[in-house]
């Protein structure tokens, strides 16, 4: 690996670490300025002033904010995400199963969405400005116009209520047979796929069309290569960097943006876990889940940047 690539990769990683640190500050500050009293939320309206004061002391709420931030950050760096105020359970232990459920859902949505988006993008370019291209682009535009909750409820109505093909509530548990688990996640995975598919397809089409205007593509066309071979051998490989960026951004969304879909299908993942504890004003859980989402999003963006750098032939083969 050449020196310019190593330098750029190191810069991206360092920038990602700094960005994650800044996000941790924002997450902590955001949870601290939420209205209401944590101790009051835990003990209820009938709590006495003495019990409230004792609980605030026990939770460390009387300490300055910067002290609590560094205590929290130190715990996170050592793998201690804290204890849920509402249940007294260890957050890291509670999150493990739910994180696996979210990753499982996002993985199967990506397995369907990424190849399908690239294939549809290639087909749209192959038949650009024709009825096939217009049909694919029109459906993609319509898909991006609908929010996740609308797509989710439509899928539930037709596939769970009307036709009764898949369950409307995605219940999964440890030791569940693989086939049953796949049937349970079919609808939320389909909803996530429809949400990200259109954007990836449109960006794939745009990236390849941009490359199609290059001189070497015109030369390949003049040599008599078929339109499909021109796209496959010359346009697509040179458009891979922006396509990778788009795919990674959408993969990040599949993991981070699952909150609405998980709530609709009552899926026991990170999004549902976050919403449940936001309603309870469980600050440590909100901080932990928020930081995990931020870490996943920033990490995938760093991977996308690194992949784009490595895929750049001018950096791989400097003069």
Q: Is 83 helix (H, G, I), strand (E, B) or coil?
A: strand
* Residue 182 confidence (pLDDT) above 60: yes
In a domain, 142, yes or no: yes
- 221: tokens are 């066309």
Range(s) of the domain holding residue 167: 99-280
**Band (57; pLDDT cuts 50, 70, 90):** confident
Which pairs with CB-CB distance under 8 Å and at least 24 residues apart come from 72-81?
A: 72/28, 72/284, 72/287, 73/24, 73/28, 76/24, 76/288, 76/291, 81/284, 81/288
pLDDT on residue 25: 94
* Residue 316 confidence (pLDDT) above 70: no
Contact between 306 and 12 under an 8 Å Cβ cutoff? The reply is yes
Among the residues of the chain, which ranges form H helices? 3-32, 38-43, 49-59, 65-77, 91-126, 131-145, 148-155, 178-184, 186-212, 215-222, 227-230, 236-238, 240-256, 259-264, 270-279, 283-310, 313-316
**Rounded to whole angstroms, how far apart are CA atoms 285 and 281?**
9
In a domain, 192, yes or no: yes
In a domain, 217, yes or no: yes
* Residue 145 confidence (pLDDT) above 80: yes
In a domain, 300, yes or no: no
Contact between 272 and 266 under an 8 Å Cβ cutoff? The reply is yes
Average pLDDT over residues 276-283: 83
Average pLDDT over residues 243-271: 89
Count: domains in the chain: 1
pLDDT on residue 49: 83
Average pLDDT over residues 210-215: 84
pLDDT on residue 162: 93
pLDDT on residue 318: 58
- What are φ and ψ of residue 230, in 5° steps? -60, -45
Contact between 117 and 197 under an 8 Å Cβ cutoff? The reply is yes
Which CATH number covers residue 261? 1.10.3720.10
In a domain, 314, yes or no: no
Residue bearing the bigger pLDDT, 312 or 235: 235
Query: Which residues make Cβ contacts (< 8 Å) with residue 317, sequence separation at least 6?
Result: none
**Rounded to whole angstroms, how far apart are CA atoms 177 and 252?**
27
In a domain, 78, yes or no: no
Question: Worst-scoring range by mean pLDDT, 30-39, 65-74, 221-230?
Answer: 30-39
Residue bearing the bigger pLDDT, 310 or 139: 139
Average pLDDT over residues 201-223: 85
In a domain, 27, yes or no: no
* Residue 319 confidence (pLDDT) above 60: no
pLDDT per residue as tens digits for the range 22-34: 999 999 998 887 7
In a domain, 19, yes or no: no
Contact between 76 and 284 under an 8 Å Cβ cutoff? The reply is no
């Amino acid at each position: 690996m050449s020196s310019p690539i190593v330098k750029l990769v190191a810069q991206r990683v360092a920038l990602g670490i700094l960005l994650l640190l800044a996000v941790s500050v924002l997450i902590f500050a955001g949870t601290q300025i939420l209205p209401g009293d944590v101790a009051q939320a835990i003990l209820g309206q009938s709590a006495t002033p003495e019990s409230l004061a004792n609980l605030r002391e026990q939770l460390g709420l009387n300490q300055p904010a910067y002290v609590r931030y560094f205590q929290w950050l130190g715990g996170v760096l050592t793998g201690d995400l804290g204890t849920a105020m509402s249940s007294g359970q260890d957050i890291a232990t509670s999150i493990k199963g739910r994180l696996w459920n979210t990753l499982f859902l996002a993985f199967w949505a990506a397995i369907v969405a990424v190849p399908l988006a690239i294939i549809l993008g290639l087909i749209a370019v192959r038949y650009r400005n024709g009825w096939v291209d217009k049909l694919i682009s029109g459906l993609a535009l319509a898909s991006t116009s609908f929010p996740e909750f609308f797509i989710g409820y439509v899928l539930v109505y037709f596939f769970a209520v009307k036709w009764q093909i898949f369950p409307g509530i995605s219940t999964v548990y440890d030791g569940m047979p693989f086939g049953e688990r796949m049937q349970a996640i079919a609808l939320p995975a389909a909803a996530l796929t429809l949400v990200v598919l259109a954007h990836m397809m449109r960006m794939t089409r745009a990236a390849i069309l941009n490359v199609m205007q290059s001189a070497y593509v015109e030369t390949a066309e003049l040599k008599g290569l078929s339109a499909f071979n021109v796209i496959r051998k010359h346009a697509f490989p040179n458009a891979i960097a922006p396509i990778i960026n788009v795919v990674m951004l959408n993969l990040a969304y599949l993991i981070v943006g699952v909150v609405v879909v998980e709530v609709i299908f009552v899926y026991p993942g990170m999004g549902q876990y976050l919403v449940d504890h936001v309603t309870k004003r469980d600050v440590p859980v909100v901080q932990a889940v928020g930081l995990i989402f931020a870490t996943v999003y920033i990490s995938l963006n760093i991977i996308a940047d690194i992949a784009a750098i490595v895929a750049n032939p001018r950096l791989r083969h400097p003069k």
